[in-house]
Amino acid sequence: MTNKLKLTTALAGSLMVLGATSANAQTYYKDGISGNLAISYQATKSEDKAKSFRTFGKESQFNLAASGALNNGWNYKAGTSIEMDGGDGTTAITGNAAESPTVNTLQAQQAENTFIDFINGNTTITIGADHLAMSDTNSYSNHVGFGYIAADGVNNVRSLYPTNLSNYQAYGIGVVQTTAIGKFSANYTPSASNSQAANDIFNGNGKDTGQKAESAYELVYQGNLGLNGLSVLGSYMSAQRMSVGNTADAKSTRVGVKYNFGSFTVGADRSREENIQAMTTKAATQKYNGDSYGVSYAVNKELSIGATYAEAKSDVTATPKKESTTIIAVGYNLGPVAVVGQYKNAQNVAGAAANDGQQVGVWVNTNF
């Protein structure tokens, strides 16, 4: 779901445009109706064979957008998207409550990238959600593969590797300034929880609509610093009572750098998060650190290969071990369809020595 950071190859460019390594949409859709469909397969092998499994995944998204001129000399653009993740339905999908960190629901249907932009030259003022550049964006180290760095699901637990905490799903107001070296954006929301939006005229409004999570802001830079081939991300997010249970403040920082020279691309990604689990006191700060490094090679305009190594650690467990993940990915560009094969080897997932395993996945995506 974000960010057009392309390699010079047709394959890598198409994978980024299609959103292979992202979790949110964040793009200016063309006027009218557009969309994309991704279908994937993944097999997870754990040391505990009873916790090994195979499954398909799906994401389909439909976008509506319009643009034009305002009577004050500015331009506007507006749009919204409907995304269907996982099974076809309109209710939440309940996962495993034993996962750590505890995140055990997936939305089957949700709105995405809902916005109205007011554009004056290189300055854009926007209201909405899931639209601006954010901490939660494409990996700068896994150039060819798909999904997050983490090997979630190994031994039925979630990875320690940060997913880059962001307030992008919450409704608010933002400003984007385009310069010669990149784009700077600032986003503010009065409620850091995406579930706290009321209807537009607030009839039937109750105390639960807005009293849980409090305000949040996010600052993001994306650009090349004036150097061709370079892609840089820098972000900082701070939120009050955003963590699960709305009992603690949260913050996230991220720096990603990627450089393309000829057929090769190298990159590094560093993420830091605090307070993303349910807590009883602000003093019990929980920290998650992730660092990853990657290289990719464009064999030709259709075929690319990539390798990534990542490490993550946390102070959550009493005797935490360093989690490591190695990723090998191969991507092929079929024109309107992109196909990616990916292998992950993970050690000490969730910081536990017993959680070693492998994942093999295939991802197929197309736009329409």
* Residue closest to 59 by CA, chosen among 43, 40, 44, 42: 40
83 has which bridge partners?
Answer: 61, 110
Give the model's pLDDT for residue 360: 97
Q: What is the pLDDT of residue 20?
A: 41
Q: Can you tell me the distance from the alpha carbon of 119 to that of 296, in angstroms, rounded to the nearest whole number?
A: 36
In angstroms, rounded to a whole number, what is the distance separating the alpha carbons of residues 106 and 104? 7
Amino acid at 61: Q
Structure-block tokens of residue 130:
């899931």
Cβ contacts of 307 within 8 Å, gap of 6 or more = 294, 295, 296, 326, 327, 328, 329
So what's the pLDDT on residue 86? 77
- Helix, coil or strand: residue 160: coil
DSSP symbols for 204-241: T--GGGTSSS--EEEEEEEE-TT-TTEEEEEEEEEESS
The answer to whether 75 and 86 are in contact (CB under 8 A) is: no
pLDDT tens profile 46-102: 888 888 999 999 989 999 999 999 999 999 999 999 888 876 655 554 444 444 444
Strands 123-129 and 109-120 come out as antiparallel
pLDDT under 50 in the chain at which residues?
Answer: 1-28, 93-105, 209-210, 278-283
Q: What does the pLDDT read at residue 167? A: 78
Query: Domains in the chain and their CATH numbers?
Result: 10-367 (2.40.160.10)
So what's the pLDDT on residue 213? 63
Residue range 141-167, pLDDT digits in tens: 999 999 889 898 898 888 889 887 787
Hey, is 156 helix, strand or coil?
helix
DSSP 8-state symbol, 74? -
What is the sign, positive or negative, of the torsion defined by CA atoms of 295, 299, 301, 304?
negative
pLDDT, tens only, 219-233: 999 999 999 999 999
Torsion sign across C-alpha atoms 116, 120, 125, 129: positive
pLDDT for 17 equals 34
Predicted pLDDT of residue 28: 47
User: 299 by DSSP, 3-state: which?
Assistant: coil
